Amino acid sequence: MTTSPPPAEQQHEEEEVLVPYGPHLELPNGAQPMEVVPAEPAATVENQQIEDPPISRFTWTIENLSRVSTKKLYSEIFVVGGYKWRILIFPRGNNVEFLSMYLDVADSGVLPYGWTRYAQFSLSVVNQIHNKFTIRKETQHQFSARESDWGFTSFMPLGELYNHSRGYLVNDTCIVEAEVAVCKVVDYWSYDSKKETGYVGLKNQGATCYMNSLLQTLYHIPYFRKAVYHMPTTENDMPSGSIPLALQSLFYKLQYNDSSVSTKELTKSFGWDMHDSFMQHDVQELNRVLSEKLEDKMKGTVVEGTIQQLFEGHHMNYIECINVDFKSTRKESFYDLQLDVKGCQDVYASFDKYVEVEQLEGDNKYHADKHGLQDAKKGVLFIDFPPVLQLQLKRFEYDFMRDTMVKINDRYEFPLQLDLDRDDGKYLSPDADRNVRNLYTLHSVLVHSGGVHGGHYYAFIRPTLSDQWFKFDDERVTKEDAKRALEEQYGGEEELPQTNPGLNNTPFKFTKYSNAYMLVYIRESDKDKIICNVDEKDIAEHLRIRLEKDREEKERRKKEKAEAHLYTIIKVARDDDLKTQIGKDIYFDLVDHDKVPSFRIQKQMAFAQFKEEVAKEFGIPTQFQRFWLWAKRQNHTYRPNRPLCPQDEAHTVGQLKELVNKAHNAELKLFLEVELGLDLKPLPLPDKTREDIFLLFKLYEPEKEQLRYVGRLFVKASGRPQDILPKLKMLAGFSQDDDIELYEEIKFEPNVMCEYIDNRLLFRSCQLEDGDIICFQKSSKADSADRYRFPDVPSFLTYIRNRQVSRL
């Protein structure tokens, strides 16, 4: 689980198909085998020198911790790699019920502009009773002026820290340790994994590094990748709802992308939400669930049985009586093996323990059918091993004395080549095929770095089984040597070099918290089939087309983002948009600008040229276009405010946007006024004088409980509402004999304000202005309140407003 929170100072308050052990395999009816071509050595793989960074250890003894009254506490300054560092803790938590602890650049305030440094480090709280229960967490960070501290907001529960029986606070003294390695990386963030290694990483969603290490391992088993590509999916499938398609998409991007790949589509296909992505899951459980789902999806297809062919082995559980002729056996399959680490020095010792014979005697005798209680021996032997052998190392176990889970950091060795036929096949059952050579070569080492309370996962992989190893650490892929991939992941203890050897000749040992927790071996006799070529012909055409379109769309968005400063977005609303939206999508105001046509226009384009673009889009010649600016009023309504004048239109689009928008990144929103004749052809626009008021009209029909937009009119400020009643009746399709009543829609936040308009008053006296909305309806009858739920405009709008609030 990745554990790096935002910096404390900023958030301070924080073909031929594989055969397991024989030459033949039956395929489902009608299925054709995948073609398998041995892979050629990767041309991009070359050895590189690995330079170990200087590592220093700093111990901070904090006395009287429970009496510390300050919110945060700094250690003394120590120097690593020529840089000054210190530890920062929040004794009562950084707004959480956990001890918060960070590594801090001590002199960040006086460093030159643009400084940066990269460090790998661990922070520990020492258990002073049992050192093996020390809590240690490890991470890495590129420190800068913006992020000068980094670490763990939730390092350990405060209840655990301040419980004196737990051993972290003894005599009110707490011991904190930091191990810091300053790496000489030219520019960590500009590092190009594809360019340097030929491979790309996976993005971490928050706590998905454990999944990333497993996915990289599976991807680099080419036969598995080929089988995933051959799973039937269709162009109508969506990756977020289909595990096969999501995995195909992920593998395709890992194979052809130039930068790191997101796993969000895959986790969505698992049914995970964002919360799940920030929770640590069990790697073995994820591996089994993923295998089961893929196995099920492969049934009835050309790749049916691939999971079993690659990963399934069988062992025999037996109980054999000593004094009578009775033996009970049971065959079981496995996809991975869990091997003990505690008490075992290496993989062979674990296998020895796995097949160790248990004697059933005394009070523990075996009840054999027809023979009663008998002395017997009980054990397990292997019938066959799979071509790809997955070994789960039991690094975590439950401590009954402490009633908690603990991590086993003991040294545990594993060989580059694993011979499971050793000692005359002592791991094999009598039924095993002795013609199969069970000699394996190491393909992957999955590592957990940290403690039982959290940590980080990454993988060392040999994609082509050459001498070159690669470290897959989320987004970053680096070349590594065999020592780093093997010996340094054994765990155990390591001696620190003495800084003052003349004063103290006793070497200081510390526990290595980074160690292997899963190993993947490939059988030598099957490696040419498993490490095969996978190219575009293995990928379904619809998938290639879909992913190529996705790639092109990503490139387009990337280009747009890079050129964003050169362009602006103009949203153009028209009468058609108001008619479409009012009464359906919206009721108040006039339009949802997210649903109107938008134009991406270069800022340097003359506005007159923009009008030509509008003419092409809507078929309205430029001489018949008049644009209005929108304005947000103090009552939180949004209305057309004023038409653009010739001086406005003389500007470029960018200049106009800057003039009318205070918000730097705001879009330019316009209303396009067009006059249409009876033949729906555009007409010359009337001149607008100071005396003219631009009003927009909505019609309410109580019998239908329906509100809709019917049009707009210019009225004279010196005129009266009764003067426009004939036009309104015509817009509504009413008889000229019908009586109508008018209301002004004033606002709807926080409450609806909709006032009756006296037809006899002057428009000026009604305080109407450009962009105001008039709602009208047939005059209410005396019995309207009994006939209709909402007999008038105010009652209907109040109902709509209350309905919207209740939905929130």
State the alpha helices, DSSP H only, in 733-777. Answer: none
Return d(Cα 88, Cα 104) in angstroms, integer. 6
Per the CB < 8 A criterion, the answer to whether 451 and 3 are in contact is no
Q: Identify which of 718, 726, 741, 735 has the alpha carbon closest to the alpha carbon of residue 795.
A: 741
CA distance 493 to 511: 4
Report phi then psi at 756, rounded to 5: -70, 140
Comparing C-alpha atoms, which of 14, 44, 18 is closest to residue 33? 18
> Two tokens at 579?
């008619």
Q: How crowded is residue 610: how many other Cβ atoms within 10 Å of its Cβ?
A: 23
β strands within 147-223, DSSP E? 149-157, 174-183
Active centre residues (catalytic)? 209, 456
120 closest CA partner among 81, 174, 156: 81
Is the distance from CB of 133 to CB of 402 less than 8 angstroms? yes
Question: Given the DSSP bridges, would you call strands 567-573 and 668-673 parallel, antiparallel or unpaired?
Answer: parallel
Instruction: Give the Å distances, CA to CA, from 573 to 144, 647, 680, 773.
Output: 46, 22, 18, 16
**Tokens representing residue 664 in the block:** 């730097």
Copy the structure tokens of residue 263: 């796993």
H helices of 671-765, in order, are: 725-732
Contact 533, 40 (CB under 8 A): yes
In three-state form (DSSP H/G/I as H, E/B as E, the rest C), the secondary structure along 66-128 is HHCCCCCEECCCEEECCEEEEEEEECCCCCCCEEEEEEEECCHHHCCCCCEEEEEEEEEECCC
Which strands, in side-by-side order, build the sheet including 358-360?
Answer: 327-334, 313-321, 376-384, 358-360
Q: Closest Cα partner for 227 from 334, 147, 333, 301? A: 301
Taken in order 656, 662, 665, 667, is the CA torsion positive or negative?
A: negative
Give the span between the Cα atoms of 515 and 521, in whole angstroms.
Answer: 17
According to DSSP, residue 532 is labeled B
Structure token pair of residue 570: 């103009």
The answer to whether the CB of 532 falls within 8 A of the CB of 226 is yes
Name the burial class of residue 91, with classes exposed (0-12), middle (13-18) and buried (19+) by CB atoms within 10 angstroms of its CB. Answer: buried
Spatial separation of the C-alpha atoms in residues 118 and 143, rounded to whole Å: 6
Find all residues with CB under 8 Å of 452, minimum gap 6, and list them: 396, 404, 405, 406, 407
What angle do helix axes 222-229 and 209-219 make, rounded to 10 degrees? 90
Task: Compute the distance between CA of residue 128 and CA of residue 167 in angstroms, rounded to an integer.
Answer: 5
Residue 408 in tokens: 């086993």
Integer Cα distance of 214 and 230 in angstroms: 21
Neighbours of 235 (CB within 10 A): 11
Closest CA to 60 of 142, 178, 158, 165: 178
- Strands 692-701 and 706-716, how do they pair? antiparallel
**Do residues 582 and 590 touch, judged by C-beta distance below 8 A?**
yes
Query: What is the 8-class DSSP label of residue 666?
Result: P
* Rounded Cα gap, residues 386 and 577, in angstroms: 64
| In contact, 539 and 252? CB cutoff 8 Å | yes
